[in-house]
Amino acid sequence: MKLIRISLLIIILSLSVLSAGQTFYIESPSNIQHQTIEVGLKDRIEFSMLSGNHTIVLDKIKPTTGFIELDIHPYINKNAQDREVVYINIDKTHFATIDLNKDYINDLEIRLVNLNEDRASLQFDRINKSIFPENPKPIINPVKEVEKEEDIITPIAITVLVFAIMFIIYLLVFKKPKA
C-alpha cells in the first residue's frame, strides 16, 4: 500500500512539472534593442530591466482567433504585496506597449511574430515613448463650439431709449402751444 502511494505521488509530481512550462532568460532589453524568442504554452520569459526583474508568461494560445494571452509580472523582486499582474491579448496586428516603472514612458513593446497550435514567436523591442503624445494628431472633424447667445436685454433697452428720446423731441418740436 505504501509503495502505491509513493508511486502515485511521483507520477503526480512529474505531471505537474511537465505542465509547468520552461523558463527562458533573455538579455536585458536595455542592452539589446530587438529580440525574438519562441515559447510554448505556459512558458515564461524572464529579464532584467529598469532596476528590476520581470516575467512574462504565455498563458493562452487561441489559434482560431490568432490571439495569445500574456501574463506580465513586473518587478518580481519586490515585496509580494507591491506586485501586480497585467493581462494582455495580442495578435499579429495588435501589439502591447508596457510602462514597467509607471513613469508615463512606455519601456517595452511586445509583438506576436508567428503563431501555431502550441508555440508563439514574440519580438521584444526596447522603446522610450511617452504615453502622452507631444504633437497630437490634427482633428479632422472638429466639434464647433456652440455660439453663446448674446445679451438680448441691452439692444432692446437701447432701442426703447432711442424711441423715447425721439418721442420727447417730437413733442417738443411739433407740439403747438395752446392759444
Each residue of 15-72: pLDDT tens digit?
Answer: 444 456 888 888 888 788 889 999 999 999 999 988 889 999 999 999 888 999 999 9
CA gap 56, 123 in Å, rounded? 12
- Please write the tens of the pLDDT for every residue from 145-160: 555 666 788 888 899 9
Q: Which helix (H) or strand (E) holds 173?
A: helix 153-174
Which residues span the domain enclosing 103?
A: 21-130
Q: Is 75 part of any domain? A: yes
Does the residue 36 lie in any domain? yes
Number of domains in the chain: 1
CA distance 70 to 89: 6
Any domain includes 47: yes
**Alpha carbons 112 and 110: distance in angstroms, whole number:** 7
Q: Is residue 163 part of a domain?
A: no
**Is 92 within a domain?**
yes
Convert the pLDDT of each residue in 68-116 to its tens digit: 999 999 988 888 777 788 899 999 999 999 988 888 888 899 999 999 8
167 falls within a domain: no
CATH code for the domain of 104? 2.60.98.10
